[in-house]
Amino acid sequence: MESSTASPTSTIGATIWLTGLSGAGKTTIGQAVAEALKARGQRVEILDGDLVRQHLSKGLGFSKEDRDENIRRIGFVAHLLTRNGVFVVASAISPYRAIRQEVRSMIGQFVEVYVNAPLAVCESRDVKGLYAKARAGLIRGFTGIDDPYEAPEQPEVECRTDRDSLENCTAQVLAALDRLGYLPSQD
């Protein structure tokens, strides 16, 4: 979890929820969006799924129930920060639509960003070898292999990381924040 010390120019917070398969580019886009928001003087916290699992959700497994509970915990922290005027950049696979909708309802100021890349592209980016282990049967219940990923039906933003640049994806997210009224105008 990373914080900005810049003076805020807005008291409206929002949660930018990046969802997608492992290796799609959620963390990379999230970091770029956070830096862009900090450059605009906004208070920002990053809630990365891997880091949250190590600290806030330690002990949870990867059953559907545990995955849902992990997302609820991330959502609760995002809710607390958002209501206090912080932009939260949450990047977590969050494979199930119903729990994403539950978190959206809890937070209110919520921008869903579908970080979309074909499975083959995600597998080619897999530096940890998790997809290979899942395909070999060493990991069970791996999202995209033997556990489903339910893509968002109407995300505010869809970033196609197999064909869009990081700069383009970041600009799409910032444009959505502008369009939805979460960012003050830049005069």
What would the pLDDT profile of 115-143 be if each residue is shown by its tens digit? 999 999 999 999 889 899 989 989 888 89
More confidently predicted of 178 and 54 = 178
Tell me, letter by letter, the H, E, C secondary structure of 128-145: CCHHHHHHCCCCCCCECC
Pairing of strands 2-3, 87-91: unpaired
- Is the CB of residue 28 less than 8 Å from the CB of residue 166? yes
Burial of 82-104, coded b for 16+ CB within 10 Å and e otherwise, reads beeebbbbbbbbbbbeebbeebb
Annotated catalytic sites, by residue? 94
Distance (Å, rounded) from C-alpha 62 to C-alpha 65?
Answer: 8
pLDDT at position 82 over 60: yes
Integer distance in angstroms from the first to the last C-alpha of the chain? Answer: 30
Distance (Å, rounded) from C-alpha 13 to C-alpha 102?
Answer: 18
Q: Whole-prediction pTM value?
A: 0.89
Q: What percentage of the chain carries pLDDT values higher than 70?
A: 89
Which token pair is 98? 């119903």
Confidence class for position 65, pLDDT limits 50, 70, 90: confident
Which token pair is 14? 């929002």
- Give residue 102's pLDDT: 96
What would the pLDDT profile of 90-101 be if each residue is shown by its tens digit? 999 999 999 999
Task: Spell out the residues 6+ positions from residue 142 whose beta carbon is closer than 8 angstroms to its own.
Answer: 22, 130, 131, 133, 134
Distance (Å, rounded) from C-alpha 77 to C-alpha 39?
Answer: 23
